[in-house]
């Protein structure tokens, strides 16, 4: 359970007790139901983290809504988008093991997270993680949605993350995007249901594979 659940639920439980005592006990039902909802919403189940080399795990629970090629800084990359409804676990996790090289918070709109333009226009937290060993980077975004009004991210630039490590959450409906090198082997498709920290979204190639591919391309060019 994320501590926020208790912070939201405690005042509601207190209100339910007061209403039940000072008025008709039936009035206590609504704050009790709301308290239960917050306790359920902020649940934080344990997950078995995949150990396969190169695995990129999902930053959150939800439904894969986009698998596409995008151009970032003049380079083609893969973008995987996951929509989190209010019924999903909203704790976010690191997709890979590595060091945080950049964190950028972008103010913006609160469009429906199912809308493709929300990836660029909505309020979001953009985190760049450099993978151990070979310098490959994975970017993941915590994107606010129609109902979401607060993005929480605990680590700082320079911190080392483990694959599947808890890093924060987005409150009340949202979206997470993962942007990675186009050489990655995607392991999911649109419509798939994934779990944060447990579902493998893609596999990054090893440094040896990347060097081999670059050498082969260079030899062909000559």
Q: What are phi and psi of 59, to 5 degrees?
A: -75, -15
Distance CA 156, CA 163 (A): 16
- Active-site residues: which are they? 174
Name the token pair of 129.
Answer: 């993680």
Residue tagged 């090893």 (tokens): 206
Q: What are phi and psi of 160, to 5 degrees?
A: -95, 130
Residue 93 sits at the vertex; the CA angle it makes with 115 and 114, to the nearest 5 degrees, is 10
Instruction: Identify which of 9, 58, 51 has the alpha carbon closest to the alpha carbon of residue 167.
Output: 58
The pairing of strands 200-203 and 151-153 is unpaired
**Rg of the chain on CA atoms, in Å:** 20
């Amino acid at each position: 359970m994320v501590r926020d659940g208790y912070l939201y639920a405690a005042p509601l439980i207190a209100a339910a007790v007061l209403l039940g005592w000072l008025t008709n006990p039936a009035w206590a039902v609504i704050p009790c139901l709301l308290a239960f909802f917050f306790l359920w919403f902020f649940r934080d189940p344990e997950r078995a983290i995949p150990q396969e080399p190169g695995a990129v795990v999902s930053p959150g629970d939800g439904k894969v809504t986009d698998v596409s090629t995008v151009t970032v800084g003049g380079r083609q990359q893969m973008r995987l988008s996951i929509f989190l409804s209010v019924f999903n676990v909203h704790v976010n996790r690191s997709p890979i093991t590595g060091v945080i090289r950049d964190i950028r918070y972008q103010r913006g709109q609160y469009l429906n997270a199912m809308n493709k333009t929300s990836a660029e226009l909505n309020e979001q937290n953009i985190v760049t993680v450099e993978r151990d060993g070979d310098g490959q980077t994975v970017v993941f975004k915590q994107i606010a949605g129609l109902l979401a009004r607060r993005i929480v991210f605990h680590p700082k630039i320079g911190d080392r993350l483990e694959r599947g490590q808890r890093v924060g959450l987005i409150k009340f409906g949202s979206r997470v995007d993962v942007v990675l090198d186009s050489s990655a082997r995607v392991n999911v498709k649109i419509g798939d249901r994934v779990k944060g920290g447990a579902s493998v979204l893609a596999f990054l190639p090893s440094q040896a594979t990347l060097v081999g591919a670059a050498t082969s391309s260079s030899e062909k060019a000559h």
